[in-house]
Structure 1
Amino acid sequence: MTNSEIGKLGEDSVCAYLVGHGYTIAARNYRIKGGEIDIIAENSEYIAFVEVKARKPDSMVSGFEAVNKRKRGLVIKTAADYCCKHPNLLQPRFDVAQVIIDRGRVLSIDYIINAYDTTGYNFIF
């Protein structure tokens, strides 16, 4: 599998996971200049901006480690843009999902709810 195929499988798996936990998928691969959000999901209380990191079992850097300060800032900036263009009353939240994939099979999904917030970034929701 190519890296883009692994990434798509990871995102598809996380979408199914979220739907199974009562969320609806509002958008996928939402892009602005300089940023992208893999999945935007909503339930009755939250709008979750989800970064998905798909990895092979022997990866040197975990998916969670890959969501560094710079990446978090880009996601927050993109989420602020989305909220301006799609106003709602839901509480924004930033989640991270790590999907372990081996030979086209999803081995595990590890999901961190509210993995980070906007503290230290110059954005208001």
Structure 2
Amino acid sequence: MRNKILGDQGESYAAQYLLRKGYRILTRNYRTKVGEIDIIADDHGTLVFIEVKTRSSLRYGTPAEAVHYRKQQKIIQTAYWYLRMNHMENSFCRFDILEIYAAGSDWSVYHIKNAFEA
């Protein structure tokens, strides 16, 4: 339960970070039978599919290391579904990872743009 709460807080922190950077958030927690995308946003005309990973320590590696090949494939398939359902197949897209580090009351973000490709 603690990890779920930390993850939810991390996603909220990530959304606020993106808004401050000028992104327009289109949806959060987009789910299909294939998978989930944490945040889908518009970055000045580029559709961005964002995976948010929050950690309070590096005991199990960096947050981005948890976005392994199989997870990437699920995100890509979910993104294809989103594009088809919204008739956006010709959109410019990219896949980002937001690493959220939570150390007590100090939170920080490391934004990895174009973290992987379809």
Q: Same fold (TM over 0.5)?
A: yes
| Partner Cα separation in structure 2 for residue 106 and residue 30 of structure 1 | 28
Matched, 1:107 2:92: no
| Partner Cα separation in structure 2 for residue 90 and residue 78 of structure 1 | 15
Query: Among the aligned pairs, what percent are the same residue?
Result: 37
Give the match for residue 14 of structure 2: 14
Which deviations, in whole Å up to 9, do the C-alpha atoms of 1:47-66 show, x marking residues without a partner? 10000000012432211111
Question: TM-score normalised to the size of structure 1?
Answer: 0.87
* C-alpha contact (below 8 Å) 1:40/1:48 kept by paired residues: yes
Runs of 5+ consecutive residues of structure 1 not aligned to the other structure: 119-125
Which deviations, in whole Å up to 9, do the C-alpha atoms of 1:17-53 show, x marking residues without a partner? 1111111110111011130000001133211000000
Which deviations, in whole Å up to 9, do the C-alpha atoms of 1:44-94 show, x marking residues without a partner? 321100000000124322111110000000000000000001123531110
SS at match of 2:114: strand
* Code of the aligned partner of 1:87: H
45 and 99 in structure 1: CA distance in 2 versus 1, 3 angstrom threshold: same
Q: How many residues align?
A: 117
SS at match of 1:14: helix
Q: How does 1:68-83 map to 2 (within 5 A)?
A: 68-83=68-83
Q: How far did residue 112 of structure 1 move?
A: 0.4
Give the match for residue 47 of structure 2: 47
SS at match of 1:59: coil
| Partner Cα separation in structure 2 for residue 74 and residue 58 of structure 1 | 24
Give the match for residue 97 of structure 1: 98
Q: How does 1:26-41 map to 2 (within 5 A)?
A: 26-41=26-41
| Partner Cα separation in structure 2 for residue 58 and residue 92 of structure 1 | 30
* Code of the aligned partner of 1:98: E
